[in-house]
Structure 1
Amino acid sequence: MKRSRRAVLLGTLAALALGATACSSSASSSDPLGGGPSASASGGAAGSGGSGGSGGTVVVGSANFPENVLLGSIYSQALQAKGVKVEERFNIGSREVLYGQLQSGNLTVLPEYNGALLAYLDAKNTAVTTQDVDAALAKALPASLGILDSSPAEDKDSLSVTQETADKYNLKSVSDLAAKAGEFTIGGPPEFKSRREQQFKDVYGLTFKEWKPTADTTANALKDGSIQVGNVFTTDPKIVQYKLVPLTDPKHVFGAQNVTPLVNKAGVDATATAALNAVSAKLDTAGLTGLMKRVSVDKEDPSTVAKDWLKANGLA
């Protein structure tokens, strides 16, 4: 299934078909599902199978970056709260490893990012909205696998500004930058300019004063004022820490990257499906970003953070 690694992520998912998605300026996690296998697991032997329907064990896996581990823990505890027997296998590795384990039945549930998953399965697909991406996934996945409800939470590229800049110029959408872009310096990973400059001109009519490479320091560059607009991942905890404002993208330059449960259909029954869909209904981007601050900045245990969120949302 999130930094410049993640800025390369969503912008290069199609090219990184075996392991990528979000790619910008985050300190909270690594390339979603883009790393190599790390083989560390939480609960249970790595080789045992797990089928969770009709009273069996649901095996919840995760990639090897903090956000995905947190999401895996949320899924796991939500299932357990409904009486489902769960085995956790977190920090496994990249999408290519996880996908194969899900197909084999060694894993039952994975937190995925719908746009990144679609790029992995069909790199030429041009769907960008949540509805279109999910519809394309339904066709691209093998019969044994399926996605459940996508959450509103997205880990994706954004153009972000400081709260002060947003208030001063009444900026809420990327479209609102049109009147000021010529006075603004925009920052992002080294590849960001070549991948996105023409798109922003064509789609939004934006011509920035300067494009400045900032890589993993984009949020810091916004904070210190060396840039006015930055490519920051939407669940980067520095958005909360520095009070940044991700601008909405109504014309979808950045495609959907909704957190979505990917399941082995034989392993989930109606109870498990309902529990996971209930999580998706409550999980939004701002909430996930706040949780990631607790995990990546405050260094709290992901399982504790997950437990608190589930309790606060009536899912514990």
Structure 2
Amino acid sequence: MTRERQNRVAGRRALRAAALMLVGLALASGCGLKGASQFAPDAEPGSVRPEPDLKDVRIVVGSKDFTEQLILGKMAVIMLRVAGADVVDQTGISGSVAVRQALERGSVDANWEYTGTAWVSYFAKPKPVPGREAQWQAVRQYDLAHHQLEWFAPAPMNNTYAFAVRSEDAKKLGVSKMSDLARLPKDDLTFCVESEFASRDDGFEPMLKAYGIPLGSKVPRGNVRTMDTGVIYDATDKGRCHFGEVFTTDGRIKALGLTVLEDDRHFLPNYNVAFNLREELARAHPRLRAVMEPLTAKLTTQAMLDLNAKVDVDGEDPGLVARDWLRSQGFVR
């Protein structure tokens, strides 16, 4: 499964190279971008009603091709169709750069994007802005000024880095937040991390320093195991390390019964999701905000984790998961 982590690994050089390759492939094939699946189930109006402002307005909704993005993309497709728009479903596009370039070119009108991804990867800003609201404001202002792209209000959900521990070990060690680690003996401070986060200037080593457990002294280097992203969850669950690097909305956290430690010193960057669209479209149809922002406000980290687990663990269809959740919240019937 492609994860949002791939967005964050790409630096400026990789972003440029991928963009050039995308353009070349598009020119060679003469084809537009294709989503992985255009199935989105029908729904009837709930709290979302048909909007005269949106009647028959053509809106191309794109998304990346990993589970969370597919679910969010299908939510947007369903909501906007119920509101009366003529929605073209382009969810499931392979690669973050492809989606971003499609939005900038106008072949996609809207998608869901993460504030941290835009700031760090797309805008190549070296330091995240602390705080959900402040990071979103910085991203919104930059994208409006440089790319004429609008960002609606961000969701509470934060698909960011975190460290998780087996729930039984959390109780045994008496830890619930990262600052608790400072009182543990060295032998208990064992970590599983992937190589990109381990080497970042704002990654693993600076994080340990911020929490008073510097690498090489409080945390012996031999206590740190570097491994592939997908292996870390299983390795943590099997006790190969006490603390594994995870993403806060990953369904495997729930499936494996892991406990995510609170980043109580707010060291890790914010990756709040928001509905991102062309400024021209947002200005021409102001009721889009009234349709989408109430949905965004309901997207918590726990809600997204549960929805991801329905697809990745239980094998349900992303479109049906999206519609059923929208029904449970009263947006549609």
Q: Which TM-score bucket, shorter chain as reference?
A: 0.7 to 0.9
**Which residue does the alignment assign to 2:131?**
129
For the pair 1:288 / 2:304, whether they are aligned, the reply is: yes
User: 1:181, 1:18 → 2: CA distance?
Assistant: 42
Q: Does 1:109 align with 2:110?
A: yes
1:9–1:174 distance in 2 versus 1, CA, 3 Å = farther
AA aligned to 1:175 is S
Among 200, 208, 215, the alignment partner of 1:201 is 208
Instruction: Report the AA paired with residue 119 of structure 1.
Output: V
Q: CA deviation at 1:17?
A: 6.4
Name the CA distance, whole Å, in 2 between partners of 1:260 and 1:180.
38
How far does residue 313 in structure 1 lie from its aligned partner after superposition?
1.2
Q: Under a length normalisation based on structure 2, what TM-score does the superposition of the two structures give? A: 0.78
CA distance in 2, matches of 1:175, 1:267: 45
2:95 corresponds to 1:100: no
Distance 1:236 1:106, change over 3 A: same
Tell me, what secondary structure is at the counterpart of 1:91?
Answer: coil
What is the SS of the residue equivalent to 2:191? strand
Q: Which has the higher helix share?
A: 2
Shift of 1:266: 2.3
Identify the residue that residue 241 of structure 2 maps to in structure 1: 227
Q: Residue 18 of structure 1 contacts residue 95 of structure 1 at CA under 8 Å; is this kept in 2? A: no
Kindly name which structure, 1 or 2, has the bigger radius of gyration based on alpha carbons.
Answer: 2
Change (3 A) 1:120 1:142: farther
Matched position secondary structure for 1:245:
strand
Percent identity for Structure 1 against Structure 2: 27
| Deviates further, 67-76 or 209-218 | 209-218
Alpha-carbon distance in structure 2 between the residues aligned to 1:236 and 1:273: 28
Distance 1:226-1:147 versus aligned 2 partners, 3 A rule: same
Q: How big is the shift at 1:128? A: 3.4
* Residues 41 and 88 in structure 1, CA contact (< 8 A), matched pair in contact too: no
CA distance in 2, matches of 1:233, 1:282: 19
Matching residue of 1:31:
none
Relative distance call for 1:225 and 1:132 in structure 2 (3 A) is same
Name which of 146, 156, 159 aligns with 2:160.
156
RMSD: 2.6
The residue correspondences of 1:228-243 to structure 2 (distance < 5 A) are 228-243=242-257
Correspondence 1:69-80 to 2 at 5 A: 69-80=70-81
Q: Is the alpha carbon distance of 1:204 and 1:13 closer, same or farther for their aligned partners in structure 2, counting shifts above 3 Å?
A: farther
Does structure 2 conserve the Cα–Cα contact (< 8 Å) formed by 1:115 and 1:128? no
1:262 shift after superposition: 0.6
Separation in structure 1 between the aligned mates of residue 191 and residue 58 of structure 2, nearest angstrom: 49
TM-score, length basis structure 1: 0.82
**Cα distance in 2, alignment partners of residues 110 and 181 from structure 1:** 46
User: How far, CA to CA, are the matches of 1:201 and 1:87 in structure 2?
Assistant: 46
Query: 2:92, 2:54 → 1: CA distance?
Result: 27
Distance 1:155 1:244 in 2: 16
Aligned residues: 289
Per the alignment, do residues 163 and 254 of structure 1 end up closer, same or farther by CA in structure 2, a change over 3 Å counting?
same
What's the offset of the Cα at 1:13? 5.2
Does the 8 Å CA contact 1:13/1:116 hold for their aligned counterparts? no
Q: Is the 8 A contact 2:109 2:277 kept in 1?
A: yes
Question: In the alignment, what sits opposite 1:259?
Answer: 273
Cα distance in 2 for residues equivalent to 1:265 and 1:257: 22
CA distance in 2, matches of 1:101, 1:53: 25
Q: CA deviation at 1:42?
A: 4.5
Residues 225 and 282 (structure 1 numbering): CA distance in 2 closer, same or farther, change over 3 Å?
same
1:248 aligns with 2:250: no
Gaps of 5+ in 2: 17-24, 27-32, 40-51
Gaps of 5+ in 1: 20-35, 45-51
